[in-house]
A = this chain, B = another copy of it.
């Protein structure tokens, strides 16, 4: 029974809350985060508050064998640039210690790690696929690439059955300071729904890889039961590639808002980092049955359902 338990870190966040709800009742869950756990007192869910870089917390979370870990806890891109020391602790030291502790029971737990397309940095090559080498520019992207390497190594050694999933832009996050440089992608939904004007820091022709939270949660849950392959511990997740003006038009259509509420004032750094995403192919993830939202209309409808 104990070995069926799944640990979810970052469980209080935007993705984590939906993931806990999706898994609650199917298996015993330990949900941990520094905050945001209030709504997760669901059947079979044990909530544990704390900082993931606290070794005493890690020891408690891993005191008994775990069947799986889904590691979402992170300091995102903008926040990591603002506090490099904190980001190094949370994004690098903490997952290294957590994974080591979880592996120590010898039961090779499944480990799903929320990595990021930030490992590719910018400028991106004309096409991104499963062979594209990592080349981070943000601290956050470097941290993710470093932990991917750690997980690949521990998986080859048999300590864990690891899989790093590189997340694209996930929409629509809550309208709050998230520390994410890509926050404008979610803020667009909030603005048009509220009939507020919004200035986007990219051009109308900007192209972004996007996935709704629900589609991501479906991928994460599916990843738990995928066969583990020590030679494939990193996957680019399927995502729709959407032109910014098309996204604005579709959000306006589904919310009944005037698309002219959205105007464009491209910031070259934001455009380069989040608005110049080339065609993406993800044959390895596709072959495993992971899928994006399918259509722009479905993506926007799913994102609006989060608001």
Contacts and interface: CB of A to CB of B under 8 A. Distances in A.
Interface of A: 84-85, 88-89, 92-93, 96-97, 100, 121, 134-137, 139, 141-142, 145-146, 149-150, 152-154, 156-157
Contacts of A150: 142, 146
28 contacts: A84-B100, A85-B100, A88-B93, A88-B97, A88-B100, A89-B93, A92-B92, A92-B93, A92-B146, A93-B93, A121-B153, A121-B156, A134-B149, A135-B152, A135-B156, A136-B149, A136-B153, A137-B153, A137-B156, A137-B157, A139-B153, A142-B150, A142-B154, A145-B153, A146-B146, A146-B149, A146-B150, A149-B149
Given A88-B96, A88-B97, 14 more contacts: A85-B97, A88-B100, A92-B92, A93-B93, A121-B156, A134-B149, A136-B153, A137-B153, A137-B156, A139-B153, A141-B153, A142-B149, A145-B153, A146-B146
A291 to B, nearest CB: 29
A94 B88 CA distance: 10
Most chain B CB inside 10 Å of its own CB: which residue of A89, A135, A150, A154 = A150
A121 B145 CA distance: 18
Contacts of A88: 93, 96-97, 100
Q: How many copies, total?
A: 2
Most chain B CB inside 10 Å of its own CB: which residue of A100, A121, A141, A142 = A142
Q: Is the interface of A mostly helix, strand, loop or mixed?
A: helix
Nearest to A121: B156
Contacts of A145: 149, 153
A136 B150 CA distance: 9
Contacts of A93: 88-89, 92-93
A131 to B, nearest CB: 11
A123 to B, nearest CB: 11
Contacts of A157: 137
Contacts of A134: 149
A237 to B, nearest CB: 21
A147 to B, nearest CB: 8
A93 B146 CA distance: 12
Nearest to A145: B149
A93 B137 CA distance: 19
A141 B149 CA distance: 10
A153 B149 contact: no
Nearest to A119: B149
Contact of A153 (B100, B142, B154): B142
Contacts of A139: 153
